[in-house]
Chains A and B, each alone.
Chain A
Amino acid sequence: MTIHRGRGFAAINYPIGMNLGGDPSQALVHSNPDGKFMVALSSIDLGQGMKSVTRQIAAETLGIPVEDVYVDTADSDTGPHCMGSFASRGTHRVGNAVIAAATEARAVMMEAAAEELEVNAEDLVTDGKGNIHVKGAPSKSITTAAACNAAQFKQGKTVSGRGIFLVPLSDVDPETGEMTPVTCFAHAAMIVDIDVDDETGEVNVVEMNSCYEVGRALNPRLVEQQLVGGAWMGMSHTLWETTEPYYPDRSHGPVDFNDYVMPGPGDIAPHHISVLERPAPDGPFGGKGPGEMCANPVLPAVTNAVFNAVGVRIDDLPITPEKILRALAAQGGARPQPKW
């Protein structure tokens, strides 16, 4: 009847976007005569922040405050085709499509401003606060609102843009498996500390320390949301969840959240996260999507920690008290391993 502390490590990478490519997304960006922009998508926000990150990407590309742009999604009548929100493709594919569309819209806006100011468009910059001015001469300026108004009512220009991002579909060799899976990968490493009770078989996650490389943290709060929530889900996969507790036997399959157990607010562990950013050459501002890979390193880190704590290998997820107790009995008791 002892509580054994154990520590486990895991390292992973993760492919960004739908495997083999061939998964396009489109975006449309247009302004009203007030210089307020709308990004029209058919992409889905599941909670990962699709609407928010595309809004920031559009604002950055257009060179305007984020308050001057909204994202409208998802309506198949007004939003152009998008493959969907899965495979960590949203930031990468939709983000790039938004950049392409916003780039085109921006060009028209700058041209309209140039005509109003009677200068060349190449000499103009945006200040990110709603103004367009001559490089080095901030007083020679016009608001984005006035430029868009002039475009609409005086010049007859549409301040709008279209964008599509497609990674061309890759073949797969039947004999060797040669393929181009994706164009960039995210990375992660994780150390998990746990306690194992050798009398009850219960595992308590004590602490998680991680490092995730995400290309570019487009919004640090959204990245944090994904990494914290995803690591929780990884913990849940390893020690709690299954629809078939006696797989491949289907008996005792849970039908509600009483039986489909997941860690609750009293079961969570402190998680210390470090984030690295090595921009993907073809990511939007280098961004890779952190939404899926955040959970993955936790699973093996925990199984390795269990071995470190009590010397048994549970290679069959989820790790349950029953599996630990049976393994300990077969082993003749806990055998804590040397700590690193």
Chain B
Amino acid sequence: MTRKPLQFQLNGSGKAIFVEEGQNLLEALRRGVGDLSPKYGCGQGTCGTCTVLIDGEPHLSCLTLAETVENRAIETTAGLAMGPQLHPLQQAFMDGFAAQCGYCTPGMLMAAKALLDRNPSPTREEVVEAISGNICRCTGYEPIIAAILAAAASGGGRRYA
């Protein structure tokens, strides 16, 4: 099986790994780089637990060919916090008890971040739309929607210096 070199930015750091032909980005991130924050939930693109941002846009990494991210900027949950300071979304999820098993949380956070980065004051409908590709089996969604709205209200659309 041929392996090709691949370079990309991950959470602001340059990464260089080897990937196999046809390998998906989820596997490349988890096994190749060791970033375990995006999760495997279906491998079919229907659950959203693998959501990462590529150049700011949410993508399903289980359906993204690793080769296609050459030189692009990827963001995952592992890079959300600024050092020890949590991203406003992370803080809002904590304060709002918006996670139970935590498995959908990384994907939810990335989908929410993509929304707030381009739309800092979303309506509830816009939040619902943004997370409609992310399945949660535990919370019933209401605490997650509330947390995203709370993060937006506290200025979550901007990175803290």
Contacts and interface: CB of A to CB of B under 8 A. Distances in A.
A47 B102 contact: yes
Q: Could you say which interface size class chain B belongs to?
A: 20 to 34
B46 A264 contact: no
B68 interface: no
Nearest to B141: A265
A256 B42 contact: yes
B132 A264 contact: yes
A153 B100 CA distance: 41
A225 B131 CA distance: 19
Contact of A228 (B99, B129, B143): B143
A264 B141 contact: yes
A47 B138 contact: yes
A229 B140 contact: yes
Interface in A138-180: none
A229 B99 CA distance: 10
B134 to A, nearest CB: 8
B46 A232 contact: no
B42 A268 contact: no
B13 interface: no
A37 to B, nearest CB: 24
A268 B146 CA distance: 13
Contacts of A232: 139-141
A256 B44 contact: yes
Contacts of A221: 97
Interface residues of A, number: 23
Given A224-B97, A266-B128, A229 B44 contact: no
A131 interface: no
A255 B76 CA distance: 28
Interface string A256-293: 11100010111010010000000000000000000000
Given A228-B139, A233-B137, A257-B47, A265 B100 contact: no
A225 to B, nearest CB: 6
B139 to A, nearest CB: 5
A90 to B, nearest CB: 13
Contacts of A265: 127-128, 131-132, 141, 144-145
Contact of B142 (A46, A48, A228, A262): A228
Contacts of A233: 137, 140
B135 interface: yes
B143 A46 contact: no
A222 B100 CA distance: 9
Interface string A217-244: 0000110110011111100000000000
Contacts of A46: 101
A326 B137 CA distance: 31
Given A257-B42, A265-B132, 7 more contacts: A222-B97, A225-B143, A229-B138, A229-B139, A233-B140, A264-B141, A268-B140
Query: Which 10 A-B residue pairs are closest in the complex by CB-CB distance?
Result: A47-B101, A232-B140, A47-B100, A257-B46, A265-B141, A229-B140, A265-B128, A228-B140, A256-B44, A266-B128
Interface of B: 42, 44, 46-47, 97, 99-103, 125, 127-129, 131-132, 135, 137-145
Interface of A: 46-49, 221-222, 224-225, 228-233, 256-258, 262, 264-266, 268, 271
